[in-house]
Structure 1
Amino acid sequence: MKLLRIHHAAIICADYPRSRRFYTEVLGLRVVAEHHRQARDSWKLDLALPDGSQIELFSFPNPPARPSRPEAQGLRHLAFAVADVAAAKSCLEAQGVLVEDIRVDEFTGRRFTFFADPDGLPLELYESA
């Protein structure tokens, strides 16, 4: 088997309109498809990044909160590559998003920072080469 790349990451949100706005308007992801699954009372929104990778945003009635602190087992965070971390941080902050201070990866020397989506899911901006 030869894995080629990550195709998508799936996220379950608590408030679909709020999260849809965050991922499309704040982060600027392009809507590929949007479907309401009546049998599950659930929305599924496919969002694309410029490289073709995708995020699937789901809603379900009354999803349990995601444990994140202390660190919980499972996926820790989702990282987005950006050309300039400082510029991306400023853009998010201009839209009212709280963003941590920029740090430097001790192994790669690249800059990064963290912020959260409307449900507290940790998201990272990682400066690409």
Structure 2
Amino acid sequence: MSDPGLGLDGFHHVALITSDYPRAKHFYVDILGAKVIDETLRVERESYKLDLLLPGGAQLELFSFPTPPPRVNRPEACGLRHLAFRCRDVDVARQVLETRGVTCEPVRVDELTGRRFTFFADPDGTPLELYEAG
């Protein structure tokens, strides 16, 4: 993807706010296997910023704030619907997550693409997807 006018060159990162920073850090680093790029304590904001690297080069920014409002929890609410992670084999990835204590939905098949996928959630309820890219 490259737009000659804007100079867009791809996807860089997604930023997430967590209600429990240590729990979220454990989930994304120890359970999902993201690598820590940088971790910053922003004392004046009572906030952490954690930069994480995912396989394939995309990044996640994890933020903590003292009392973030809860996420709107309707699947069709405006805004982020879900964050999808590409995987080679959705059955294997789902099994690994479940052995690590993460509950996943049953595997489904996308009626438009024929690709297999499942959903799960991070500790704050952010909807996440495993998408079998082939």
Please say whether Structure 1 and Structure 2 have the same fold, judged by a TM-score greater than 0.5: yes
| Structure 1 CA distance for aligned equivalents of residues 39 and 124 of structure 2 | 20
Q: 1:63 aligns with which of 61, 68, 82?
A: 68
Percent identity over the alignment?
60
Structure 2: gaps (5+ residues)? 1-5
- What is the CA-CA distance between 1:52 and the residue it aligns to? 1.3
In the alignment, structure 1 residue 29 sits paired with structure 2 residue 34: yes
State the distance in 2 between where 1:70 and 1:64 align: 17
> Which residues of structure 1 form unaligned runs of 5+?
none
Distance 2:61 2:123 in 1: 15
TM-score by length of 2: 0.93
* Matched residue SS, 1:90: helix
Secondary structure of 2:78's match? coil
Q: Scaled by the length of structure 1, what TM-score is found?
A: 0.97
- The Cα of 1:2 is off from its aligned counterpart by 3.8
Taking the aligned partners of 1:87 and 1:9, their CA distance within structure 2 comes to 25
**1:70 Cα deviation (Å)?**
5.1
Structure 1 residue 6 corresponds to structure 2 residue 14 = no
Identify the residue that residue 104 of structure 1 maps to in structure 2: 109
> How large is the Cα RMSD of the aligned pairs?
0.9
**Stretches of 4+ moved more than 6 A in 1?**
none
Spell out, residue by residue over 1:31-76, the C-alpha distance to the aligned partner (whole angstroms, 9 max, x if none).
Answer: 0000000110100000001211100000001000001225311011
Alignment of 1:65-84 (within 5 A): 65-69=70-74, 71-84=76-89
SS of equivalent residue, structure 2 residue 38: strand
